[in-house]
Structures are given as C-alpha cells and as structure tokens.
C-alpha cells in the first residue's frame, strides 16, 4: 500500500541509528532520516510539513511504511511520521453512512471495526498493512474490491497553494493502483471519507479464488465476518499478512503491478508463451487485457524462494513479494533482485513490469 510521497533529493542523511527509516517500513530496510517529526493530528501534519518547508528541507510523509522502498542512504530531509488516529460517522441515512477516517488510522483496524459494526464495503480489503490515508494514493484493491468504490472525498493539504482542501472522488484520478496523489509531492492526505452500506452481508463476491474459498458462486454475498476471515486466511497463505516472526512478510506486498496490455501486445505475449499455456488474464476497460505478473515472473524462471543477493529473496509463498530475509539485506540488494526479475521477464515475454511501491532515493 502506498503511504508516502517524496521529493527528489540528493546527498546522504546523517547516520544516527535513532533515525534509521528501516524501523518504520514493513521491508525493514532504509537508511537514516535527516530529521524525524511525529504528527498525531491533521493540524500537526500540516504544521510539521510547513516547518520543514520554512527550513527549505525536502519532505517525506510516511505512515505505515507498507508500500515504500527507501534507499540505503536514507532521506536527507524531514520525515513526517503520520500518527493521527480515529474515525467518525459524519453523515448517514437508512441505508448508508459516511465514515471520516484520519490518515494515520491503521487500515486493518478500520476494516475490522467496520465488519464488527455491519458496515459493508471494505471487508475484502482485510489484512492489508499500512494506513487509511495511504489507500487513496494507491487506490488500494484486493479480492475484487478497490477503495475507489467507497471513497467519496479526501481531505488534503495542498502544498502548492498552502491550504487544506477537499478533493471529491471524481477528481482523485483513480486508476489501477494509482491516483493524482501517487508520485506527487503536492498533496498530503489528512483524512478520507468512505461511504459504506448498512448490511451484515458483503458486496457481491467478484473474485473467483475468494468465491471458491468461501464456498459460493461469483456474485453471491456472504456474511461480512466470513468474507474477512477468508481473505485473511488467503492472504496469510501468501505471506501477505504481517508477522514479526515470518520473513516472508517482510516485504511491500506485491512488488510489481499486473501489466495492462493493449490487445496487440497481449496477442504477442500469447505467441511467446504458447509452450506454457494461456497466460492468466482479465479483460479491462476498452480493448486492454490485464495479465498476471506473478505468472510471468514464475514462467520466466523466478519461482517462489528464488534467491537474490545479500539476504533478499522472492517469498517462499508468493512470487510477487520480494522479501528481506534479515542479516546482510539492504535496499541495494533488493533493487538488484527487482532488476533481475524485471529484465528476465522482458527478455522472455517482451512485457515490461513496473514497480508498485514508491521508491525513495533508489531506482530500479
């Protein structure tokens, strides 16, 4: 999940162990910050950003650290740690309610709370690490749901005009794993409004794997608690639920997005993969096809557990997760593994893989 933006920077941050950013990322990698500032309210987030700007320092806004890769040199500026918490109902009617969630609220805590209250709309996004404020940045999605379906507005600090604004969902530029907030240093998300449905049942189950696991047909609805429990079980089986004792979960989740190909490019892929069977794919809007990055990686020779240099490897549970195995692991070794996979897939299939996480002071 993306929960960070960063301005391009040069130089190296001071080497103070107390500011090592590996402490604040799910990868457990990343060098030191020049300065750390903790913000526990929306007002403090704005204040800390403005103070850094007044010092003419670059700014990195970091919440759950679950979808960011920070270079070994760290970040030679101010890192604002977003620790705002809480949510409240700000509008409701007989069938729906609008929930305003602070940017630093842990995402899975929020999902658990909505399921417990019979608020439907987020249940298939269970188990995703990171913060609520990160979800519109990445347009977080899993098991047939995306936050773009329930977000109705985002409160953000506009660094260009130095004012707090509300951005309606239609103006957020939501796309597959993207939005106007991603890769931009203009906006700092402060809170997010979700419109949820009053129902003890999930939305229609769209994802075939989830439908099979919960024992229903695609399109059926199931109790919210069943949907959440099944998603958590499926994610855990892929190493996608954080576990301090399991290095398979020391990752950013899926490292590469599923390629979205024009029809001609997809047909070329099918030709190059003719000896391997039909590539798993899904039709997209217009004449495009989304292809499984995990399948491409595996068929290009990078299977589960594939080792990289110096303490990194592909997860033993899922080929899309690049993991820190501890010891001598570094961001540079993780990046080297990512390049090896990207180049290998392109050589084999002619398809370009693109990283899903935000990269800070490192390049793939």
The active-site residue out of 177, 235, 325, 342 is: 177
Residue 252: closest CA among 2, 39, 47: 2
Output the six-digit token pair for 161: 């005009």
DSSP 3-state of 86:
coil
Residue 162: active-site member: no
Catalytic residue among 120, 202, 254, 333: 254
For the chain, list the strands marked E by DSSP. 4-6, 33-39, 59-62, 68-70, 75-82, 87-92, 96-102, 119-120, 141-142, 145-146, 151-158, 163-168, 187-198, 260-262, 281-283, 288-291, 312-314, 322-324, 358-360
pLDDT digits (tens, 9 = 90+) for 1-15: 334 434 334 444 445
- 177 is known as an active-site residue: yes
pLDDT single digits (tens) 53-99: 999 999 999 999 999 999 999 999 999 999 999 999 999 999 999 99
Q: How confident is the model over 197-210, as a mean pLDDT? A: 96
Bridge partners (DSSP) listed for residue 70: 360
pTM for the whole structure: 0.90
Residue 307, φ and ψ in degrees, nearest 5: -80, 145
- Give the position of tokens 């990046």: 335
- Does residue 240 have a pLDDT over 60? yes
Which of helix, strand or coil describes residue 34?
strand
Active site residue 254: yes
């Amino acid at each position: 999940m993306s929960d960070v933006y960063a301005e391009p920077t040069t130089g190296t941050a001071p080497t103070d162990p107390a500011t090592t950013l590996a402490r604040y990322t799910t990868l457990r990698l990343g060098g030191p910050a020049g300065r750390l500032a903790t913000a526990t309210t929306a007002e403090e987030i704005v204040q800390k950003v403005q103070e850094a700007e007044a010092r003419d320092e670059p700014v990195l806004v970091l919440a759950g650290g679950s979808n960011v890769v920070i270079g070994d040199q760290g970040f030679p500026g101010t890192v604002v740690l977003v620790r705002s918490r809480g949510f409240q109902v700000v509008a409701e009617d007989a069938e729906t309610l609008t929930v305003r969630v602070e940017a630093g609220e842990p995402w899975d805590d929020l999902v658990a709370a909505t399921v417990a209250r019979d608020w439907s709309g987020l249940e298939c996004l269970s188990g995703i690490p990171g913060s609520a404020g990160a979800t519109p940045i990445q347009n977080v999605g899993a098991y047939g749901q995306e936050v773009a379906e329930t977000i109705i507005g985002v409160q953000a600090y506009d660094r260009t005009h130095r004012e707090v604004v509300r951005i309606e969902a239609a103006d957020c530029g939501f796309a597959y794993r993207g939005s106007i907030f991603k890769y931009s240093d203009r906006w700092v998300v402060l809170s997010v409004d979700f419109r949820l449905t009053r129902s003890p049942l999930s939305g229609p189950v769209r994802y075939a794997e989830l439908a099979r696991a919960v024992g229903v047909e695609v399109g059926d609805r199931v109790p919210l608690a069943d949907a959440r429990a099944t998603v958590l079980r499926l994610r855990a089986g892929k190493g996608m639920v954080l576990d301090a004792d399991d290095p398979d979960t020391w990752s950013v989740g899926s490292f590469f997005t599923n390629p979205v190909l024009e029809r001609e490019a997809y047909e070329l892929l099918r030709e190059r993969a003719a000896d391997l069977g039909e590539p798993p794919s899904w039709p997209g809007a217009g004449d495009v096809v989304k292809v499984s990055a995990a399948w491409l990686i595996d068929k290009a020779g990078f299977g589960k557990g594939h080792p990289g240099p110096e303490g990194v490897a592909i997860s033993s549970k899922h080929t899309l997760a690049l993991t820190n195995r501890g010891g001598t692991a570094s961001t540079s070794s993780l990046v080297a593994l990512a390049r090896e996979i990207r180049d290998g897939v392109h050589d084999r299939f002619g398809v370009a893989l693109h990283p899903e996480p935000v990269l800070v002071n490192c390049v793939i």
